[in-house]
Amino acid sequence: MDNFELKTEPKVKRKSVIWNILTVLALLATCGLAYLFLNIYQNPGLVPASLRPLSLPTLYQTPTPTATIIPLPATWTPTPSETPFPTRTKAPTWTSVPLLITPSITKTPTSTPVTNTPTITTTAMPAVADITYLASTTKHPDLACNWLGVGGTVMDVSNKPLVAQTIQLGGTLSGKPVSGLVLSGQDAAYGSSGFEIKLADAPVDSTQTLWIQLFDNKGNALTDKIYFDTYKDCNKNLVMFVFSLLR
């Protein structure tokens, strides 16, 4: 029994030595690999070119587009050069008819009667106009002398403002036709029944080439055509009309 134990003891010691040697080699290999990895980490150029991974292509990036706001053109609003015509329920017919200012005439036939013989009767108009000349700066101080026009009011038989009456203007100024149509009460600068019609951008001399006429709200003439003058004078470039009803 003792001899058997003496014979097997060297085998056990031999196996222990082998395992120790393998352990030492494994530790040395691990240290070597760690040293190699550390050097490669600090200096990647140590890796041979054949063992290096392929470089990824650089991603091409285009600049981000920036929206450019293009301003739209400004909207042009035309400014009317004349006062717009009011809407009328019954528009009068503007036909020039010579005014016959004659007394009532009754023809008495001396022989055989003639049928369809008219009796011409002329009656006075139910309104009159008072005309004065003022400087336009009394109504348009900001325009200085750069204006010419007419304005005024319409009064009833009780001398109270009468609105919604039609004022028509026509004729020529410096050889050019002029026209206007407004209602009383449209321009409060002249009063409750005020009106205004612009003629030009500067005072101009004219003699009986312009006329003005008043109609009621049914289109009936309240005055004849009243012809008036204008002056190239900054103190007379506003022609004032005050229409007054007589009945």
Q: Per-residue pLDDT tens for 43-90? A: 777 766 666 666 655 555 656 666 666 666 666 665 656 555 555 555
What pLDDT is attached to residue 114?
37
Residue 234 and residue 142 share a domain: yes
Q: How far apart are CA 35 and CA 52, in angstroms?
A: 19
In whole angstroms, give the CA distance from residue 230 to residue 13. 145
Average pLDDT over residues 8-14: 59
Q: How many domains does the chain have?
A: 2
Q: What percent of the chain has pLDDT over 90?
A: 53
Residue 21 has pLDDT above 70, yes or no: yes
Instruction: Establish if 230 belongs to a structural domain.
Output: yes
> Does 85 reside within a domain?
no
Average the pLDDT over 177-205 and give the result.
97
The mean of the pLDDT values for the chain is 79
Q: What is the pLDDT of residues 80-116, one digit of tens each?
A: 565 555 555 555 555 444 444 444 444 444 433 433 4
Reduced to 3 states, what is the DSSP secondary structure of residue 11?
Answer: helix
Position 69 in a domain: no
CATH of the domain at 203: 2.60.40.10
pLDDT in the model for residue 219:
94
Which pair of tokens denotes residue 148?
Answer: 């010419």
Average pLDDT in the 149-164 region? 97
Range of the domain at 31: 2-47
Q: What is the mean pLDDT of residues 142-156?
A: 97
In a domain? residue 202: yes
* Structural domain includes residue 80: no
